Amino acid sequence: MAVLTIVLVVVGLMVAVRAYNKMTMGRCRCTARLDGKVVIVTGANTGIGKEAARDLAARGARVILACRDLQKADQARDDIVASTGNRNVLIRQLDLLSLASVRAFAKGVLQTESRLDVLINNAGAGGLPNQRTPDGLTMGMQANHFGPFLLTCLLLDLLRKTQGSRLIMVSSMAHPYGHFDIDNMDCEKSYNGFYLYCNSKLCNILTAQYIAQKVKGVTANSLHPGVVQTDILRNVKTAWIRNVADRGIGLLFKSAAEGAQTTIHLAVSEEGGRVTGKYFSDLKVTAPGGPANVPGLAEQMWKRSEKYVKLADDERPFRD
């Protein structure tokens, strides 16, 4: 009886969590078209990024899928084209674990595109090992922050030139739980994978905040997509942990299409083009936690990040 009671309680909690998520889940109802507009979505070969790209392609946008794995990106493109009828969906290789790749991608965009209406920094990863990239940066921090940060710096002038452009940073509700040390951003002193992930997601929020402070004419916002059934834990090596997490997330939480709704809202809605420097969850402005509210931290993060990615003078979007 005791075991049966425990099982019933667990099942009841799972049903309650699922029901709560369904009741509070936001869905973008905006019908705006994006014909003639250019959108970049990083990590668009799967999960939230793919579903956001699909929606924006269905609205008529020219969508650039910025992906590391070209084979998966090709499959994603075929799927998006088939489901939307929009053939103006392009693939460009982008490996955030290589700053040279980020620079090459940005150079290609600047050579081929005369405008950039929406940049969605969606790509991210959890469970990456405690290893350094060829750039000498911690893998998790480069994938989630330093790579997207550099990409944003390199494309910010094109965003500035495009009237009504938008920058969207996909962050996480994990951001308040990091032990953020501006002098240990890349774990030079000590390493903790959980706190590194939280810190990287905090940096996503701070990036949007700083751009909102500095740039007029570009809205910059961050968001928590919800706990979503994606393959973000694909790098976790312990199989049983990954399997349990995947099954639990699949039963309890959002699908990728549901998780993409706040991203889509910020990309197409009137609010997304008017509000800037805010953090969103389920389509609503939400107060960020902890360090995201520390005065001056966004500027400190920005200037320190410029040094980590070795930003050249002609790459700096702000020169004051």
**Helix (H/G/I), strand (E/B), else coil: 298:** helix
Please confirm, yes or no, whether 191 is among the known catalytic residues: no
Specify the pLDDT at position 320.
64
pTM above 0.95, yes or no: no
| 3-12, 191-200, 252-261: range with highest mean pLDDT | 191-200
* Other beta carbons within 10 Å of 35: 10
Phi, psi of 175 (to 5 degrees): -60, -30
Burial category of 165 from C-beta neighbours within 10 Å (exposed 0-12, middle 13-18, buried 19 and up): buried
CA dist 257 and 72 (Å) reads 18
Q: Could you tell me what percent of the chain has a pLDDT over 90?
A: 75
Cα 283–chain centre separation: 15
129-143, 180-194, 261-275: segment of lowest average pLDDT? 180-194
DSSP summary character for residue 218: E
Mean pLDDT in residue range 108-114: 98
For the chain, domains (ranges, CATH) are 30-310 (3.40.50.720)
**Residue 96 binned pLDDT confidence (cut-offs 50, 70, 90):** very high
CA distance to 10, 21, 111, 207, 279, per residue, from 173 (Å): 24, 15, 36, 16, 10
Mean pLDDT in residue range 111-140: 95
> Which among 177, 195, 197, 210 is annotated as catalytic?
197
Tokens representing 1 are 């009886």
Model confidence pLDDT, tens digit, residues 120-130: 999 998 888 99
**Residue 7 binned pLDDT confidence (cut-offs 50, 70, 90):** very low
Question: Where do we find the tokens 């997330």?
Answer: 249
Mean pLDDT in residue range 224-243: 60
